[in-house]
């Protein structure tokens, strides 16, 4: 290790002559077999419920009501998928979810970058106070304003319209904070000054300088926003009674008096699939985004 | 032209942050404050939105409502059962991930997987696994000689099951947050401790945990704010769409009680009073939690 603080001779004096410890010297420590075994067990525990929903959705209802339970997939996945689409308007729900999540994502990324640019790079009166206000709002439990929000939507005539779910989601305090943090270090002052000298307006600076620089952070923010909008349940449940998103459709699929678990878990699989695909492709960015947000948060 | 430029530099920043504040004000902040007004009214949706001022009547009723206290007790029980083991497990998993590992990204993704799936999906899968007759978990209990548990039927078993669902979804997320913080801890601290002959366990408790103090406080407060609002899990765990949280309200949480009063009984005024009461409880617990975790983390340092 190049960062070793003291010469090796001293180390052998102070450290006990324990071969295992000497091998683990240096940081981060090398993982032992036990570390891998424990981590694999944790990952298996994480994956199992989802694997299980796949197993159930590929079996017949009879096969699932067995002791001991069947642990390997069967051949009925496509029959079950067909049953889901036949028994509820699942296609409509999927489409609704794509429309809601898609528009919310584009909007959050755009407005967050715009506000983040102003907070990070422009000087104006009240900047600090307004930023604190924006960040503080992210701690407020939104769920608790749900009754007046419903009254508001009823007044606007938006109940059962997708607008009721899209419009309140168009901006997030998290997005503004995230972009402010990122643009504060990512956009170099010289670039902005050069743009100004070339006669760029502030919006021109946003469009030509900030947006291209913001692209990696915008991708991460977009991912998180999409996943959150896709997985949202409580508010759509309240306001979209007859025009469900996929999570609401899923919950009504599960809430019969005798639940058909094969059907329900097939729905679960279908509702999770888009998110799983995103996760498989962009998991590294998602993990990185959470860890990055954590240090700054 | 210079007037225009000045206008642009002075005025445009406000224009850029305006959409956030307008939209957030209208659909985030206004409803929350308006909840206060609604809570002082007898406000019934079925009555064509008619409402009249009743002052503190809703709050008085709330104080004497056994269903509310039951719901509050259930909320706290589920919150404690899910948060404490979850954060401890997250700490341990983060410690494991903080080694030099092969397939680092794969392992991190595997740990995070529960968090990216929806509450609805997770709860439905677990409800099936916690099934009384054909559930996976009762089958496993049977293998070790324990009798089957009717998970939905009793208070303790339903709380345990719901806490498991919550903890399963959030442990990996918290582990990654701890991991990020661990990796920001200076390496020479560990190397110095190693030279002094500190064991791996000692290093964990004397260096890792104290250096994670701000992060531990952060996760504890966030888990509290989220945990006290739990609603979807107990709603779906019942298996039917009734929001009573079981036949005896044995797992009805405060947020679920609010949902029941608001959107099943259509008592908007009363439900708003519940919302404000819950808001107050969340604030008290978040602050208490902040002070407590700060103390604990300091004592260990």
A268, B136: Cβ pair inside 8 Å? no
Question: What confidence tens digit (pLDDT) does each residue in B22-50 have?
Answer: 999 999 888 988 999 999 999 887 666 67
For chain A, what percent of residues have pLDDT higher than 90? Answer: 59
Query: Residue B274: which pLDDT band, with cuts at 50, 70 and 90?
Result: very high
Tell me the two tokens of residue A253.
Answer: 């699929």
Rounded Cα–Cα distance for residues B109 and B233 (Å): 24
Residue B178, pLDDT above cutoff 80: yes
- Write down the pTM of the prediction: 0.89
- pLDDT tens sequence across A251-278: 988 887 677 889 999 999 999 999 999 9
**For residue range B44-94, what is the model confidence (pLDDT) as tens digits?**
876 666 788 999 999 999 999 999 999 999 999 999 999 999 999 999 999
The residue in chain B having the minimum alpha-carbon distance to the alpha carbon of residue A52 is B125
Nearest residue on chain A to B260, alpha-carbon basis: A238
- Set of chain B residues whose Cβ sits within 8 Å of the Cβ of A287: 105, 108-109, 112, 176
Is the pLDDT assigned to residue A19 strictly greater than 60? no
- Smallest Cα–Cα separation from A175: which of A146, A134, A213, A206? A134
How far off is chain A from B299, nearest CA to CA, in Å? 23
| pLDDT value of residue B199 | 83
Share of chain A above pLDDT 70, in %: 89
Residue B105 in tokens: 């990204």
Proportion of chain B above pLDDT 90, given as a percent: 61
Q: A-chain residues within 8 Å CB-CB of B35?
A: 144-145, 147-148
**Confidence band for A17, pLDDT divided at 50, 70 and 90:** very low
Pure H helices in chain A: 8-14, 19-23, 33-57, 61-64, 77-87, 90-121, 127-137, 146-156, 163-166, 173-186, 189-197, 202-205, 211-231, 234-239, 246-254, 261-296
Point out which residues pair with B100 in neighbouring strands. A30
The pLDDT, as a whole number, for residue B46 is 66
Q: Who among B119, B124, B231 is closest to A264 (CB)?
A: B124
Query: What's the pLDDT band for A11 if we cut at 50, 70, 90?
Result: very low
* Binary contact (B124, A250; C-beta < 8 A): yes
Candidate from A29, A47, A272 with C-beta closest to B118: A272
What's the pLDDT score for residue B278? 93
Identify the band that residue A247 occupies on the pLDDT scale cut at 50, 70 and 90.
Answer: very high
Indicate the range of A274-278, B64-68, B103-107, B209-213 predicted with least confidence.
B209-213
pLDDT at B299: 57
Q: How far does the CA of residue A124 sit from the closest CA of chain B (Å)?
A: 7
User: How far away is chain B from the Cα of A161, in angstroms, using its nearest Cα?
Assistant: 16
Residues in A 77-106 with any Cβ partner in B closer than 8 A: none
Q: Tell me what the pLDDT averaged over chain A comes to.
A: 86
A132: nearest Cα among A177, A182, A181: A177
Please state the rounded mean pLDDT for residues B99-128. 94
Residue A4 has pLDDT above 60, yes or no: no
Report the gap between the CA of B210 and the closest CA in chain A (Å). Answer: 15
pLDDT in tens, B149-159: 999 999 999 99
Across B112-130, average pLDDT:
94
More confident residue, B127 or A143: B127
User: Which of A24-38, A148-162, B86-100 comes out lowest in average pLDDT?
Assistant: A24-38
State residue B1's pLDDT score: 53
Neighbours of B196 (CB within 10 A): 11
- Is ipTM > 0.85 here? yes
pLDDT at A57: 93
Mean pLDDT on B185-194? 85
At A24 the pLDDT is 45
Looking at residue B44, the DSSP 8-state letter turns out to be B
Whether A46 sits inside 8 A of B172 (CB atoms) is yes
- CB neighbour list of residue A176: distance below 8 Å, 6 or more residues apart: A111, A112, A115, A116, A119, A134, A135, B17, B20
Q: Give A39-78 pLDDT, tens digit per residue.
A: 999 999 999 999 999 999 999 888 877 777 888 898 999 9
Residue B182 vs residue B239, higher pLDDT: B182
Q: What percent of chain B has pLDDT over 70?
A: 96
Question: Token match 């519940």: residue?
Answer: B274
- Tokens 């002959």 correspond to B197
Residue in B closest to A241 by C-alpha: B263
Question: What does the block give as tokens for B113?
Answer: 């997987």
Give the distance from residue A187's alpha carbon to the nearest chain B alpha carbon, in angstroms: 16
H or E, element range at B220:
helix B213-227
> Which pLDDT does position A26 carry in this prediction?
58
* Residues in chain A closer than 8 A to B122 (CB atoms): 49
Could you give the angle at the alpha carbon of B153 between the alpha carbons of B150 and B157, nearest 5°? Answer: 70
Best mutation target among A148, A192, A266, A293 (most B Cβ atoms within 10 Å) is: A148
Question: What kind and span of H or E run contains A207?
Answer: none
Asked if residue A30 lies in contact with residue B100, where contact means CB atoms within 8 angstroms, the answer is yes
User: How far is Cα B136 from Cα A53, in angstroms, rounded to an integer?
Assistant: 12
- Which pLDDT value is given to residue B47? 63
* Among A118, A227, A287, beta carbon nearest to B108: A287
What was the pLDDT predicted at A55?
A: 93
> Confidence band (pLDDT; 50, 70, 90) for B298?
low
Q: Say whether residue A51 is in contact with chain B using an 8 A CB cutoff.
A: no
- Quick one: pLDDT band at residue A5, thresholds 50, 70, 90? very low
**Residue in B closest to A164 by C-alpha:** B27
For B221, what's the count of Cα atoms within 13 Å in the CB-facing half-sphere? 20
């Amino acid at each position: 290790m190049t960062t070793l603080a003291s010469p090796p001779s001293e180390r052998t004096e102070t450290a006990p002559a324990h071969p295992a410890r000497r091998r683990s010297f240096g940081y981060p420590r090398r993982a032992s077999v036990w570390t891998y075994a424990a981590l694999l067990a944790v990952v298996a525990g994480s994956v199992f419920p989802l694997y299980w929903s796949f197993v159930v959705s590929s079996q017949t209802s009879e096969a699932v009501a067995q002791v001991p339970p069947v642990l390997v997939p069967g051949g009925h996945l496509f029959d079950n998928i067909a049953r889901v689409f036949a028994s509820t308007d699942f296609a409509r729900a999927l489409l609704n979810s794509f429309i809601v999540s898609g528009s919310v994502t584009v909007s959050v990324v755009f407005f967050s970058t715009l506000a983040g640019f102003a907070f990070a790079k422009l000087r104006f009166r009240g900047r600090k106070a307004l930023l604190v206000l924006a960040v503080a709002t992210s701690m407020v439990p939104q769920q608790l304003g749900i009754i007046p929000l419903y009254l508001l939507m009823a007044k606007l005539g938006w109940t059962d319209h997708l607008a009721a779910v899209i419009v309140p989601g168009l901006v997030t305090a998290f997005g503004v904070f995230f972009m402010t943090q990122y643009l504060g270090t990512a956009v170099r002052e010289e670039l902005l000054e050069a743009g100004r000298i070339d006669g760029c307006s502030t919006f021109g600076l946003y469009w030509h300088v900030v947006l291209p620089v913001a692209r990696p952070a915008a991708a991460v923010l977009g991912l998180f926003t999409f996943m959150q909008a896709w997985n949202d349940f409580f508010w759509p449940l309240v306001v979209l009674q007859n025009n469900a998103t996929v999570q609401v459709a899923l919950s009504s699929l599960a809430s019969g008096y005798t639940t058909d678990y094969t059907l329900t878990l097939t729905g679960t699989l279908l509702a999770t699939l888009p998110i799983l695909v995103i996760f498989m492709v962009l998991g590294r960015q998602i993990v990185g985004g959470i860890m990055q947000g954590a240090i700054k948060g | 032209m210079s007037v225009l430029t000045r206008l642009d530099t002075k005025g445009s920043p406000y224009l850029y942050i305006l959409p956030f504040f307008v939209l957030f004000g209208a659909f985030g902040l206004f409803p929350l404050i308006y909840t206060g007004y609604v809570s002082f009214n007898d406000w019934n949706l079925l009555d064509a939105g008619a409402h009249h001022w009743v002052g503190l009547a809703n709050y008085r009723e709330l104080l004497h409502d056994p269903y509310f206290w039951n719901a509050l007790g259930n909320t706290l029980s589920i919150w404690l059962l899910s948060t404490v083991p979850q954060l401890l497990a997250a700490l341990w998993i983060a410690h494991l991930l903080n080694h030099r590992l092969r397939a680092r990204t794969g392992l991190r993704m595997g740990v995070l997987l529960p968090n990216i799936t929806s509450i609805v999906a997770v709860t439905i899968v677990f409800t099936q696994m916690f099934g009384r007759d054909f559930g996976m978990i009762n089958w496993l209990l049977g293998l070790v000689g324990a009798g089957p548990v009717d998970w939905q039927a009793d208070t303790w078993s339903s709380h345990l099951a719901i806490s498991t669902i919550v903890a399963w979804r959030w442990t990996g997320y918290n582990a990654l947050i701890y991991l990020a913080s661990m990796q920001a801890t200076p390496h020479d601290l560990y190397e110095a401790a190693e030279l002094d002959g500190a064991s791996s366990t000692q290093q964990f408790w004397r260096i890792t945990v104290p250096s994670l103090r701000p992060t531990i406080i952060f996760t504890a407060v966030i888990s509290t704010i989220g945990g006290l609002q739990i609603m979807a899990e107990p709603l779906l765990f019942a298996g039917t769409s009734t929001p009573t949280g079981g036949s005896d309200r044995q797992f009805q949480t405060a947020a679920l009680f609010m949902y029941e009063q608001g959107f099943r009984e259509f008592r908007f005024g009363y439900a708003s009073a519940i919302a404000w009461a819950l808001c107050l409880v969340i604030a008290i617990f978040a602050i208490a939690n902040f002070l407590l975790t700060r103390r604990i983390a300091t004592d260990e340092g």
